Chains A and B, each alone.
Chain A
Amino acid sequence: MSTTRDPHDTISRRSFLKLAGLGSLAIPAGSADASIWEAFFRKSFREMNRDEVGAMLERLERRYAEEHGYQLAVKVTGPLPGVKYGYGLDLSRCVGCRRCVYGCVQENNQSRDPQLHWITVLRFAKGEKWVNDLERADAYYHAEAVPEDGYFYMPVQCQHCEDSPCEKACPTKATWREPDGIVVIDYDWCIGCRFCMAACPYGARRFNWGEPGLPAAELNPDTHYLGNRPRPKGVVEKCSFCIQRVRENPGRYPACVEICPVGARKFGNLLDPASEIRYCIDNKRVFRLKEDLNTNPKFFYFFAT
């Protein structure tokens, strides 16, 4: 462990390891201690008992500290009883500023370089048909100021479907729906086959094509195992309704809800008749994206005016 390593040396050794069929165990041979093998032969997250989860979290935190210099806490807070999360988005308020996009990046430790966003904000020209014809939307508008005349905006992120095509598609059960309705990914179980991306109707899943660039100084150290802990390259990730925030008791809003300057985003417990999400559903003209696909999202769009 104490041997100082020349980065070039580790690269060639790594290549050798890979050639030998050990795959991309991102650990140089010189420091091979038991934890590598524990990590390699671990069970899937849902099959672990409390002790095994504890050992794994400790291992993870140590690895983050050693490899990236991230000092962070990884928690595994479980779902709160009697809660099913729902999300509302007021299309008549959204101005397309994309503060949510960058707020999400910061909160959830997305890669800065290469850039990776969980929220896509689509721009539509007013007066065109749109919900079924997303081809007319523009995800890369470069406006001097928003809102622009003649346009409206529709942010899209993981819709946390009740019948999620991604969960059905995943060959290793690395993604699933939690009892509180949040669709999560175990980033240490995902094999990176990207079948879920092919299956997702909302383009919500994002793949780490390269090594995520996340400077330790920009890290949000309050992390959840199934949410915003730093991800390795080669795995799929996505919005988790800020699982690290909403599962606190009392729960906090997801970062995008908190940061939205016009209050277009609503969030709450679908099972609580007094929650604001229930108010929206009961009183607004609510619709869900691609309803015809029967994915049954828990993400509701509406027009407040």
Chain B
Amino acid sequence: MRNFLAALRMVLQGNRFYYAWLGLLLALIALGIIAYLRQLEAGLIVTAMRDPVSWGFYISNFTFLVGVAAAAVLLVVPAYIYNFKPIKEIVLFGELLAVAAMVMCMLFVIVDMGHVDRLAHLLPVIGTMNFPSSLLAWDILALSGYLLINLFISFYALYKMAHSRDYSLSIIKPLIILSIPWAVSIHTVTAFLYNGLSSRPFWNASILAPRFLASAFCSGPAVMILIFQIVRRVSRIDIDNKALFKIAELIAYAMGINLFLFAAEFFKEFYSGSVHLAPMQYLYFGLHGHSPLVPWMWTAFLFNLCAFLIFLNPRSRQNFLTLNLACVLVIIGVYIEKGMGLVIPGFVPSTLGEIYDYSPSWVEKGVTVGIWALGALIYTLLLKFAMPVYTGALRFYAKD
């Protein structure tokens, strides 16, 4: 109890910027709640989704965030497999980011449901989960398992640290090793969710899952690079530049693969020119005069390309100005590409050939902003607690 109060005090204290930040987040969350109540009252008709495009902005954000969560933990690979010291020390922050991202993912799925009160029908044992047939059932297990693993690892480590004790590697190491394939699996399973639908040619391409992973490996670490710099500024935690540059190098490889896979897909569709070309055409050139996503997609492509060049060149990736610029470009680029750019063309043209131009309604935007703010709040509070524990400024009193 005393420990809890100590932690609470730590989390609630801060300077003016901290309070302003929390205030802003709380206001955005309130906005999201208002928008969501409106949606509950009237039904999903307040969104811009309709029968031809039955998933939209919510599922787009979900898809992007799964990637962030997966990639944050994939940083564990260089840390533990190759024993790369500078990164090993900051894995904890990646795990906490995964926790926040997972919570956001789940919320995005929940706000997309037509009947939230039947959420329990989804659960194993209590409901009637369609396992192993439905990929959505797999996704639920993969995501919640991943959340639990990361919660356990990070809180166990923090708990031990807060008691000035070393955490036992024999407990944590197998879990960390497990979390690596699990991180790959959450993103793969999410990709398979789309991939397995034979009626949607845009998704039903074997390149989808690898492309998912490659792009996740760009956006997630880019988020981490930005966060580490903030952590370094607001706390006494020492994060080696080498760690950041190493991550930047990894992004360069991942983005290279991502762009290559994109080119492969582009070639296959446009050279063969079958009717399956339609969604791709809709995305990049417009179809029968419908072209709402065209400017977005080219922006995403240019952003990804520029970021790739910056990350590739050692001089520009080791300059913080260009490095941060590239990170922002990658995050926006992948957000467009793996969000709306992935979900919408699966539905356009629809299975009966209808073209419905989707763009999110105000309610959808409000709810989305609210969930992002909540995720940011969760991560802020987790960091605020974890940072002093990490530096030794916060210590718990042992009960005995």
Asked if B41 and A15 make an inter-chain contact with CB atoms under 8 angstroms apart, the answer reads: yes
Asked if B136 and A122 make an inter-chain contact with CB atoms under 8 angstroms apart, the answer reads: no
B interface footprint on A130-152 (CB within 8 Å = 1, 0 otherwise): 00111111010000000000000
Return the contact of A15 from the options B37, B118, B130, B350 (Cβ within 8 A).
B37
A interface footprint on B270-298 (CB within 8 Å = 1, 0 otherwise): 00000100100000000110000000000
Q: Does A169 touch B at the CB level, under 8 Å?
A: yes
Return the contact of A191 from the options B49, B119, B278, B355 (Cβ within 8 A).
B119
Smallest CB gap from A187: residue in B: B115
Asked if B117 and A23 make an inter-chain contact with CB atoms under 8 angstroms apart, the answer reads: yes
Asked if A24 and B122 make an inter-chain contact with CB atoms under 8 angstroms apart, the answer reads: no
Q: Which A residues, 195 to 215, have Cβ-Cβ distances below 8 Å to chain B? A: 195, 197-203, 205-211
Q: Does B353 touch A at the CB level, under 8 Å?
A: yes
Asked if A173 and B128 make an inter-chain contact with CB atoms under 8 angstroms apart, the answer reads: yes
Q: Does B231 touch A at the CB level, under 8 Å?
A: no
How many A-B residue pairs have C-beta atoms within 8 angstroms? Tell me: 171
Q: Does B169 touch A at the CB level, under 8 Å?
A: no
Chain A residues whose C-beta falls within 8 Å of the C-beta of B234 in the assembled complex? none
Q: Does B181 touch A at the CB level, under 8 Å?
A: no
Q: Does A156 touch B at the CB level, under 8 Å?
A: yes
* Nearest CB on A from B72, distance (A): 26
Q: What CA separation (Å) do A24 and B54 show in the bound complex?
A: 20
Chain B residues whose C-beta falls within 8 Å of the C-beta of A101 in the assembled complex? none
Asked if B129 and A172 make an inter-chain contact with CB atoms under 8 angstroms apart, the answer reads: yes
* Nearest CB on A from B326, distance (A): 34
Q: Does A288 touch B at the CB level, under 8 Å?
A: no
Return the contact of B130 from the options A46, A172, A200, A205 (Cβ within 8 A).
A172
Asked if B130 and A207 make an inter-chain contact with CB atoms under 8 angstroms apart, the answer reads: no
SS of A interface (majority): loop
* Nearest CB on A from B349, distance (A): 5
* Nearest CB on B from A60, distance (A): 16
Q: Does A126 touch B at the CB level, under 8 Å?
A: no
A interface footprint on B357-375 (CB within 8 Å = 1, 0 otherwise): 0000000000000000000
Q: Which B residues, 27 to 79, have Cβ-Cβ distances below 8 Å to chain A? A: 33, 37, 40-45, 47, 49-52, 54-55
Smallest CB gap from A293: residue in B: B198
Q: What CA separation (Å) do A246 and B199 show in the bound complex?
A: 29
* Nearest CB on B from A272, distance (A): 31
Q: Does A112 touch B at the CB level, under 8 Å?
A: no
* Nearest CB on B from A151, distance (A): 15
* Nearest CB on A from B137, distance (A): 5
Chain A residues whose C-beta falls within 8 Å of the C-beta of B333 in the assembled complex? none
Return the contact of A203 from the options B41, B129, B351 (Cβ within 8 A).
B351
Asked if A174 and B45 make an inter-chain contact with CB atoms under 8 angstroms apart, the answer reads: no
Asked if A15 and B40 make an inter-chain contact with CB atoms under 8 angstroms apart, the answer reads: yes
Q: What CA separation (Å) do A83 and B110 show in the bound complex?
A: 40
* Nearest CB on B from A279, distance (A): 29
Q: Does B140 touch A at the CB level, under 8 Å?
A: yes
Asked if A198 and B117 make an inter-chain contact with CB atoms under 8 angstroms apart, the answer reads: no
Asked if B275 and A44 make an inter-chain contact with CB atoms under 8 angstroms apart, the answer reads: no
Asked if A207 and B135 make an inter-chain contact with CB atoms under 8 angstroms apart, the answer reads: no
Q: What CA separation (Å) do A218 and B129 show in the bound complex?
A: 37
* Nearest CB on A from B82, distance (A): 39
Asked if A165 and B198 make an inter-chain contact with CB atoms under 8 angstroms apart, the answer reads: yes
Chain B residues whose C-beta falls within 8 Å of the C-beta of A209 in the assembled complex? 43-45, 47, 49-50
Q: Does A190 touch B at the CB level, under 8 Å?
A: yes
A interface footprint on B328-355 (CB within 8 Å = 1, 0 otherwise): 0000000000000000001101111111
Chain B residues whose C-beta falls within 8 Å of the C-beta of A170 in the assembled complex? 130, 134
Smallest CB gap from A124: residue in B: B353
Q: What CA separation (Å) do A153 and B222 show in the bound complex?
A: 52
Q: Does A22 touch B at the CB level, under 8 Å?
A: yes
Chain A residues whose C-beta falls within 8 Å of the C-beta of B52 in the assembled complex? 203
* Nearest CB on A from B121, distance (A): 4
Chain B residues whose C-beta falls within 8 Å of the C-beta of A208 in the assembled complex? 43, 114
Chain A residues whose C-beta falls within 8 Å of the C-beta of B129 in the assembled complex? 171-173
Chain A residues whose C-beta falls within 8 Å of the C-beta of B112 in the assembled complex? 193-194
Chain B residues whose C-beta falls within 8 Å of the C-beta of A172 in the assembled complex? 118, 121-122, 127-130
Asked if B198 and A201 make an inter-chain contact with CB atoms under 8 angstroms apart, the answer reads: yes
* Nearest CB on A from B94, distance (A): 29
Smallest CB gap from A40: residue in B: B117
* Nearest CB on A from B288, distance (A): 8
Chain B residues whose C-beta falls within 8 Å of the C-beta of A193 in the assembled complex? 109, 112-114, 136
Asked if B115 and A165 make an inter-chain contact with CB atoms under 8 angstroms apart, the answer reads: no
Smallest CB gap from B287: residue in A: A135
Return the contact of B351 from the options A19, A171, A174, A200 (Cβ within 8 A).
A200
Q: What CA separation (Å) do A147 and B103 show in the bound complex?
A: 55
Asked if A191 and B43 make an inter-chain contact with CB atoms under 8 angstroms apart, the answer reads: no
Q: Contacts A24-B116, A171-B130, A206-B51; is A233 near B200 (CB within 8 Å)?
A: no
Q: Contacts A44-B128, A122-B352; is A133 near B275 (CB within 8 Å)?
A: yes
Q: Does A79 touch B at the CB level, under 8 Å?
A: no
Q: Does B170 touch A at the CB level, under 8 Å?
A: no
Chain B residues whose C-beta falls within 8 Å of the C-beta of A199 in the assembled complex? 197, 199
Q: What CA separation (Å) do A174 and B129 show in the bound complex?
A: 10
* Nearest CB on B from A10, distance (A): 11
Q: What CA separation (Å) do A174 and B115 show in the bound complex?
A: 13
Q: Does A25 touch B at the CB level, under 8 Å?
A: yes
* Nearest CB on B from A208, distance (A): 7
Q: What CA separation (Å) do A189 and B130 show in the bound complex?
A: 13
Chain B residues whose C-beta falls within 8 Å of the C-beta of A132 in the assembled complex? 275
Q: What CA separation (Å) do A208 and B278 show in the bound complex?
A: 28
Q: Which residues of B contact A (CB under 8 A)?
A: 33, 37, 40-45, 47, 49-52, 54-55, 109, 112-119, 121-122, 127-130, 133-137, 140, 193-194, 197-200, 275, 278, 287-288, 346-347, 349-355
Can you spell out 17 A-B residue pairs with CB atoms less than 8 angstroms apart? A46-B128, A134-B351, A156-B352, A171-B122, A171-B130, A172-B118, A173-B128, A173-B129, A173-B130, A174-B121, A194-B112, A198-B55, A198-B194, A203-B352, A209-B44, A211-B43, A293-B199
Q: A15-B37, A44-B128, A235-B115 are in contact. List 17 more A-B contacts (CB 8 A).
A: A11-B41, A25-B117, A134-B352, A136-B353, A137-B353, A156-B352, A169-B135, A172-B118, A172-B130, A193-B109, A198-B347, A200-B351, A202-B351, A207-B54, A209-B45, A233-B114, A293-B199
Q: Which residues of A contact B (CB under 8 A)?
A: 11, 14-15, 18-19, 22-25, 40, 44, 46-47, 114, 120, 122, 132-137, 139, 156, 165, 167-174, 189-195, 197-203, 205-211, 232-236, 290, 293-294
